[in-house]
Copies of this chain bind each other. A is one copy, B any other.
Amino acid sequence: MASIQRVSFLGLGVMGFPMAGHLQQAGFEVCVYNRTASKAAKWVEAYGGSEADTPAGAAQDVDAILVCVGNDDDVRSILLGEGGALAHARPGTLIIDHTTTSADLARELDAACREKGLSFIDAPVSGGQAGAENAQLSIMCGGEPEAFESAQPLFDAIGKQSRLLGPAGSGQLCKMVNQVCIAGILQGLAEGISLAKAAGLNIEDVQQVLGGGAAQSWQLNNRALTMAEDTFDFGFAIDWMRKDLNYALAEASRLGLELPVATEVNGYYRELQDAGMNRCDTSVLIRRLAPEWPGK
């Protein structure tokens, strides 16, 4: 596969905006597309590069097309159909989807790409907004080894590690595992910090001393203090986490597995959405544990 020089980046949300920026800064010629065009203009102002008015326009004459949008339907509408990027990409173009989607969609996109002589990698990420901004993402990939190999320079520009987990869909399956793990970690941390606060302990001290033992986690390091301070207007929104957990629970169910705590935590998030906290960071689980929470 020829080396990658010109790329398009479709979707400039809190993740995509800095990711596309790192690619431009690493020396790739980046053309961006965003549904709300003003964001694309803002991106060009910040980083240089160019913008396209449509997915089709962004798809022409590039070596790779990267996508980072909301959910399965968003990916479909930007990539598939007559106006979608796939129909306008030249043969040999590498398609990389950084969106967290179902594994089924990844397999469907892989098949659509093969039909058109394109390569496909599903490549959801972990590390959050901060990871995207600092080019410290962890990238979970599914696809062919050659395609993964040729994508390395792109991944190096946006992440601290990338790994090929298997054929198309495997990146998404790994991301589901990631989110299921996080659901348990965050609820455990929420219960622990609630207990610490009720017991009158200093949360910075608790965070320090727990961080040296078997309760250590990225979430403890990055969310214990903000949980204790009741600050949630940042980070990874519940709306996205629920989407991800629903993909994971559907996949588990297909595989004949029950995931009781992931199911339970998904229900807690639904309650918090219903209470209007849908844009709050996932660590807002601690609010449900307060004695004044309705239903207690």
Q: Provide the residues of chain B in CB contact with A140, threshold 8 Å.
A: 209
A195 B255 Cβ-Cβ under 8 A: yes
B215 A185 Cβ-Cβ under 8 A: yes
A177 B198 Cβ-Cβ under 8 A: no
How many A residues touch B, CB cutoff 8 Å? 80
B261 A195 Cβ-Cβ under 8 A: no
Q: Which residue of B lies closest to A255 (CB)?
A: B198
A213 B174 Cβ-Cβ under 8 A: no
- Interface status of A180 (Cβ within 8 A of chain B): yes
B259 A208 Cβ-Cβ under 8 A: no
- Interface status of A102 (Cβ within 8 A of chain B): no
Q: Provide the residues of chain B in CB contact with A261, threshold 8 Å.
A: 184, 187-188, 191, 261, 264-265
- Interface status of A216 (Cβ within 8 A of chain B): yes
- Interface status of A214 (Cβ within 8 A of chain B): yes
Q: Which residue of B lies closest to A261 (CB)?
A: B187
Q: Which residue of B lies closest to A210 (CB)?
A: B178
- Interface status of A46 (Cβ within 8 A of chain B): no
Q: Provide the residues of chain B in CB contact with A1, threshold 8 Å.
A: none
- Contacting residue for A188 out of B126, B174, B180, B212, CB 8 A: B180
Q: Which 3 pairs from chain A and chain B are nearest by CB? A: A184-B188, A126-B213, A138-B212
* Other 8 A-B pairs with CB < 8 A, given A131-B214, A138-B210: A138-B212, A159-B212, A164-B205, A166-B201, A184-B261, A194-B257, A198-B256, A216-B217
List chain A positions with a Cβ less than 8 A from chain B: 103, 125-128, 131, 136-140, 159-166, 170, 173-174, 176-189, 191-196, 198-202, 205-206, 208-220, 222, 236, 248, 251-252, 255-262, 264-265, 289, 291, 296
27 A-B pairs with C-beta separation under 8 A? A126-B213, A127-B212, A138-B212, A138-B213, A161-B209, A164-B205, A166-B200, A166-B202, A174-B205, A174-B206, A176-B195, A178-B215, A181-B191, A182-B214, A184-B187, A185-B185, A187-B260, A188-B188, A188-B262, A194-B259, A195-B251, A199-B255, A216-B218, A257-B289, A260-B264, A261-B261, A261-B265
